[in-house]
């Protein structure tokens, strides 16, 4: 998710960032769906797209959930421990796949050959200089297109990326996302490489009901493989560890929060490893047993108090 800029909102597990992009873009999906219904477009025909209406409804429900402060601040104190803007939310699964389908259809020549509606500029066209620049297209860029002349950063491109088919490309991309999610093939832009070679794919749900597509992040951090990330030689003769896995979810492996006042208060969490290096105990070839003490805190976005005196 390197192309998603934090000021618009990343799709990670943090409370403050996952809410922004859906807030801007789900209304565009809802509007496009309503417009195409009025126009009796085949893209919204319930016979050929039986899960589309439910998917739009799920997105709307998720948007309402993200915008409900009582879910985040149930009373006094910090974020509610039970509030998760992404985990288990089918709206997150749909939105994630829709975004990447939209990128392909609008700026990448189409999700598949023969797509009826594609954008007028193909950033994946390598015939220009050999480069594929699709991942340079961002949420920000799409938002500014939707805002037009009122955008905070108006676009200098004088043409029409949508080619007059904005609503069609938006809903066509949602239909493409539904097709991926309801199948069982590996989902685009999901999955991760394994420590000792190979790959773990994340399959579709094999279920046509969008309400069953609860988001679960990829467990792409392997705490028992960090030695290899730093230098394979550091792992030679090292006894295996059992620190487990976690989801990166667009965050650093060291996290801290500080409240700067007359009395400084801080929280942090330190999962196993530092810059890919797990310290070995003497010459025993074993990791320090306390290296994994905070792994569960990291997995659950939980912090511990810092001693700052």
> What is the tens place of the pLDDT at every residue in 204-242?
999 999 999 999 999 998 888 765 444 545 556 667 778
Per-residue model confidence as pLDDT tens digits over 238-266: 677 788 889 988 777 788 989 998 889 99
> Mean of the pLDDT values across residues 58-74?
87
Query: Closest Cα to residue 30, out of 111, 146, 145?
Result: 146
User: Where does the pLDDT of residue 288 fall: very low under 50, low under 70, confident under 90, or very high at 90 and above?
Assistant: confident
What's residue 43's pLDDT?
Answer: 98
Rounded to two decimals, the pTM is 0.84
Tell whether the model's pLDDT for residue 12 goes beyond 80: no
User: What value does the mean pLDDT take over residues 43-60?
Assistant: 98
pLDDT digits (tens, 9 = 90+) for 157-194: 888 999 999 999 999 999 999 999 999 999 999 999 98
Mean pLDDT for the chain overall: 84
Is the pLDDT assigned to residue 50 strictly greater than 70?
A: yes
Q: Which of 56, 150, 142 is nearest to 99 (CA)?
A: 142
Percent helix, strand, coil in the chain, to 5, is 35, 10, 55
The phi, psi pair for 269, rounded to 5°, reads -150, 135
Q: Which residue in 12, 10, 6 sits closest to 247, CA to CA? A: 12
- pLDDT for 70-103, tens place per residue? 877 766 555 566 678 888 999 999 999 999 999 9
- Percent above pLDDT 90 for the chain: 51
Q: Kindly tell me if the per-residue pLDDT of 8 is higher than 70.
A: no
Q: How far is CA 264 from the centre of its chain?
A: 33
């Amino acid at each position: 998710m390197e192309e998603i800029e934090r000021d618009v909102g990343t799709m990670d597990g943090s409370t403050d960032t996952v809410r922004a992009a859906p807030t801007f873009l789900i209304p565009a999906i809802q509007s496009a769906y309503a417009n195409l219904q009025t126009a009796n477009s085949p893209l919204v025909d319930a016979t050929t797209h039986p899960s589309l209406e439910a998917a739009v409804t799920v997105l709307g429900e998720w948007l309402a959930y993200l915008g409900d402060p009582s879910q985040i601040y149930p009373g006094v104190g910090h974020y509610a421990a039970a509030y998760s803007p992404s985990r288990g939310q089918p709206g997150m699964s749909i939105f994630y796949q829709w975004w990447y389908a939209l990128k392909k259809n609008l700026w990448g020549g189409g999700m598949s050959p023969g797509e009826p509606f594609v954008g007028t500029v193909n950033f994946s066209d390598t015939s220009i200089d050999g480069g594929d620049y699709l991942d340079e297209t961002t949420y920000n860029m799409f938002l500014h297109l939707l805002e037009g002349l009122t955008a905070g950063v108006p676009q200098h491109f004088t043409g029409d990326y949508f080619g007059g088919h904005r609503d069609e490309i938006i809903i066509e991309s949602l239909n493409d996302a539904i097709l991926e999610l309801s199948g069982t093939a590996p989902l685009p832009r999901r999955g991760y490489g394994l420590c000792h070679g190979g790959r773990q794919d994340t399959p579709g749900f094999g279920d046509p009901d969008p309400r069953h597509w609860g988001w679960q992040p990829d467990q792409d951090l392997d705490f028992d493989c960090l030695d290899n990330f730093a230098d394979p030689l550091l792992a030679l003769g090292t006894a295996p560890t059992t620190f487990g896995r976690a989801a990166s979810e667009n965050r650093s492996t060291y996290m801290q929060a500080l409240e700067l006042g007359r009395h400084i208060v801080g929280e942090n969490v330190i999962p196993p490893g530092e810059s890919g290096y797990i310290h070995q105990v003497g010459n025993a070839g074993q990791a320090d047993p306390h290296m994994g003490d905070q792994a569960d805190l990291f997995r659950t976005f939980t912090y511990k108090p810092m001693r700052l005196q």
